[in-house]
Structure 1
Amino acid sequence: MSDKKYIALTFDDGPSDTTTRKVLDKLKKYGVIGSFFLIGDCIPGREDIVKEELDYGCDIQNHSLTHSDMRTFDADTIKAEIDETTRRIVAISGKEPTFFRPPYIYVNNLMMESIPLIFISGYGCDDWVPEVGAAERAKKAIEGAKDGAVVLLHDLEGNDATVEALDTIIPELKRLGYEFVTITELFKRAGINYSNAKKEVYSYTDQ
């Protein structure tokens, strides 16, 4: 039995014009991969960035079309948000997403019933808060780590403190014995797929 520990770095709210590429550069610098949860409305004009993510071996997943509070939507609107984002991802990747991260991690029963994807959260590092610096973001990422964990980060435009934090997060988690995998691989290793996934929002595969 393997004693390896596995963890997934995930990034929300892209693709962005500059920050996403900076994140990719950090991943390449350390030889690790991650997963990107895309906002559908951010994709047009940035298809080349998404292709770069894919070419490097990263996962591309669904983060809704407009990043709205989807609890306010009816079933048809919820489905339209997901379907259009998936359509745009498939047009680039040829592959449908398996995972969905709800905007703001706001969820209700209608969303669970209407969206045929595995719901993901992850443990956050407050990296969407401008006042939280790179060192604190890195500290939160490292302290929350455990086998099967999903790290919730953001590659939104201008989020350079997270780019900086990766220079601490990745080497330290490597030192602690973690292997970085995509969200797909993390769940595959845990034996979780859509047919047996719980109707809940995952932050760890052992929850």
Structure 2
Amino acid sequence: MEKKYCALTFDDGPNTTITVSMLDILKKHGVKASFFLWGDFINEETAPVVLREFQEGHEICNHSRTHTPFDQLTPQQMLDEINWTEDKIKSIIGKGTNFFRPPYIGVSDSVYETVPLPMICGIAANDWMPEVTARQRYDMIMESMRPGAIILLHDLFENVQTLECVEMLIPELKEQGYEFVTVSELFEKYGIDPRANKFLYTFADQTVRRVDE
């Protein structure tokens, strides 16, 4: 079977509950993922969680400081949000990040022009909504899956349904021949430089600025 690659990503951590449970699940299945961190949640209590993410081979990415939609900010405010979070991450893992996910996927021409990192979107599953069941989340992802996909989920407080979704998702995608890699590794596998285009990536090999335009 031809090898297929995808990237599992999580927004809105770190925390000491769901994030830790997600790390346990990923470790059990031998899967590497990418975590897009909400800067204001990085503190003395959660710093060990961030360090664990890094030490276990996951990729640490930037998701802003305050989770304000970037299409509502000035260019300087955008940079301040990114740089503050970069500094927090560097203080824990000793290096900066390679990717940024705009809060609420709020983008504009100014956001594309200002943000210095490649921007990542992904196949969403409405998993920030408590009424969406684990099975519904799983089904939404599976309907849109193809090689090179980036899966967008959330390790929010109390988001138990996404833990259950991931427990279903990993074995099924492995059975279909997918290998889970970090976002950086995904672009490497497909021989793509994500900095070459000002795109909002849902698939590593996409050829348009964003897939829903």
> Normalising by the residue count of structure 2, what TM-score does the alignment of the two structures yield?
0.93
Query: 1:132 aligned to 2:102?
Result: no
The 5 Å alignment of 1:31-180 reads: 31-45=30-44, 46-180=46-180
Between stretches 71-80 and 187-196, larger displacement belongs to 187-196
**Alpha-carbon deviation of 1:96?**
1.4
How many Å separate the matches in 2 of 1:92 and 1:188? Answer: 25
Deviations 1:11-53, CA, capped at 9 Å, x for gaps:
0000012000011111011111100000110111211000110
Indicate the SS of the match to 1:206. coil
Aligned partners of 2:6 and 2:186 also within 8 Å: yes
- Checking the alignment, whether the CA contact within 8 Å between 2:187 and 2:194 is kept in structure 1 is no
SS at 1:192 equivalent: coil
Deviation of 1:66 (Å): 0.3
| Residue pair 1:12, 1:63 contacting (<8 A) in 2 also | yes
Shift of 1:190: 2.1
What's the C-alpha RMSD, in Å, of the aligned pairs? 1.2
Whether 2:27 is the aligned partner of 1:11: answer no
**Helix, strand or coil: the match of 2:203?**
coil
SS in 1 for 2:147: coil
Partner SS for 1:147: coil
Distance (whole Å) between structure 1 residues aligned to residue 101 and residue 178 of structure 2: 23
CA displacement at 1:195 relative to structure 2: 4.0
Looking at structure 2, the residues matched to 9 and 194 of structure 1 have their Cα atoms a distance apart, in angstroms, of 17
Q: In 2, Cα distance between the equivalents of 1:181 and 1:140?
A: 20
- Displacement of 1:62 after TM fit? 0.4
TM-score, length-scaled by structure 1: 0.96
Looking at structure 2, the residues matched to 56 and 44 of structure 1 have their Cα atoms a distance apart, in angstroms, of: 20
8 Å contact from structure 1 (residues 12, 38) kept in 2: yes
CA shift, 1:114, in A, is 1.4
Mind listing any 5+ residue stretches in structure 1 that lack a counterpart? none
CA contact (8 A) 1:63 1:103 kept: yes
CA contact (8 A) 2:117 2:195 kept: no
In percent, how many aligned pairs have the same letter? Answer: 46
CA contact (8 A) 2:118 2:195 kept: no
Relative distance call for 1:195 and 1:30 in structure 2 (3 A) is: closer
Q: Alignment length, in residue pairs?
A: 205
Q: In the alignment, which residue of structure 2 is the partner of 1:190? A: 190
How far apart, in 1, do the equivalents of 2:187 and 2:125 lie?
21
The aligned amino acid for 1:145 is M
Contact between 2:2 and 2:177, CA under 8 Å: does it hold in 1?
A: no
Deviation at 1:167, TM superposition (A): 1.3
Q: Does 1:23 align with 2:22?
A: yes
Distance 2:161 2:141 in 1: 13
CA distance in 1, matches of 2:165, 2:43: 28
